[in-house]
Structure 1
Amino acid sequence: MNLARAIHFDESDRNVFHSPARTGEWCVSGGFEFSNWTEGDLSGKARQAFSNGWLGLETFGRVTFVAVTKVEPAEVETLARSLANHFVHFYGAPSIDAALPVARDEIAQMSELCDEHDQNTLLTVARELTDTGVRESYRVIAAEAAGLEQFAIHVDQDDG
């Protein structure tokens, strides 16, 4: 099973997002955050997060690029519980038990996207507001075997 980790090529995410994701943390699209936004919400750093920010599952900060990598099944459940907790504390979900299926769905959607690509493939997200809600599209950047390893950070579970 694959998922995506935040990756940084420079310091720009620190300047464009209110809260940048940490390099190496697992990410999902996080488009749910914008489900009730209007054009009036799209200014400054909030616009940047809306336009092209993936959501980190530890800091709940945003990142521009993610890299596809393998994830262990046990880790997926921990991530789902963390996201469910986030839904309770920041979005008013009634309980972790009620939020857990939605969190699992978000992670499964991201995993399905990542499973279509080789390890170290880079992904970007682009969002736009439409009359029917938020539309997301993804850009895929194939890994260059020599170049990406200079930037990608892969964390083993044992690294803690």
Structure 2
Amino acid sequence: MSAHRLPRTLRLDPSDTFVFAEAAEPGEWAVTGSFLFLDSDPAELTGKARAAFRSGFAGVRSLGFSTLVVVSEASEAERTEAVETLARHILERFGAPNLAAARGAAEEEIAVAASLCNLPVGSVVAMHRTVDGGEIHESFRTLHQRAPGADPLHARAFHFVETDEEGPEEEADLVGMVRGSEPRR
């Protein structure tokens, strides 16, 4: 049984559900999804469709979008299932002439997705898609976790500490502080 590496959709927070009209479910196998925009003029896209064009990977099962993917190991059976699922979409939703043609297109999309995974398992990848001279171009970057304290300018604004102490809770009126009013107690 040969192992493959394929990208899976990754959702670190709920932002994809607000940014895209349809967000991919976390953990779906993913492809770049540029084929979803071949019949549209990217210059005319607005709002959520424009966001999907600029940075959305497509989940194979849902064809929803994800800003990030994570390099993951896939079995031969999982890869085959991803190809077949995508082929069904290409046949039913995009009008491929037959299942063999749809399967060929799906194989190409999965191969492109796999080519992004020449990274360690667990690597997180983001994409930026543009149009130049009528052609769609994709660029990819790998996101790396910073070592704690490595960049104090981009440190977290809040740090939460769990305590067992009983007592009054402190409240901060951040808006009031900005306006110069007294804090609530």
CA spacing shift, 1:96–1:117, aligned 2, 3 Å: same
Matched-pair contact (CA < 8 Å) for 2:31–2:113: yes
CA contact (8 A) 1:121 1:141 kept: yes
Corresponding residue of 1:35:
38
Q: Tell me which of 119, 122, 126 is aligned to 2:128.
A: 126
TM-score (norm 2): 0.74
CA distance in structure 1 between the partners assigned to 2:81 and 2:97 by the alignment: 19
Partner of 1:151: none
1: CA distance, partners of 2:25 / 2:61? 8
How many percent identity over aligned positions?
34
How many residues align? The count is: 145
| Stretches of structure 2 lacking an aligned partner (at least 5 in a row) | 149-185
Query: Does residue 1:9 correspond to 2:12, yes or no?
Result: yes
Structure 2 residue 64 is matched with structure 1 residue 55:
no
Contact 1:120 1:143 (C-alpha < 8 Å) held by counterparts? no
Give the 3-state SS of the residue equivalent to 2:137 in structure 1: strand
Q: TM-score, normalised by structure 1?
A: 0.85
Residue 61 of structure 2 is aligned to residue 21 of structure 1: no
The one of 100, 105, 129 aligned to 2:103: 100
Mapping 1:41-120, distance limit 5 Å? 41-114=44-117, 116-120=118-122
Aligned-partner Cα distance in 1 for 2:30–2:147: 22
Which is higher, the Rg of structure 1 or of structure 2? 2
CA RMSD of aligned residues (A): 1.7
Within 5 A, what are the aligned runs for 1:139-154?
139-142=141-144
Please state whether the residue corresponding to 2:115 is helix, strand or coil.
helix
* Cα gap change, 1:145 to 1:121, in 2 (>3 Å): farther
* Structure 2 SS opposite 1:19: coil
Residues 3/144 of structure 1: CA separation in 2 closer, same or farther (3 Å cut): farther
Which runs of at least 4 in structure 1 moved beyond 3 Å after TM superposition? 142-146
- In the alignment, structure 1 segments of 5+ residues that lack a partner are 147-160
**CA positional deviation for 1:39:** 4.0
Q: Deviations over 1:34-73 (max 9, x none)?
A: 1233244310100010000000011110000110010001
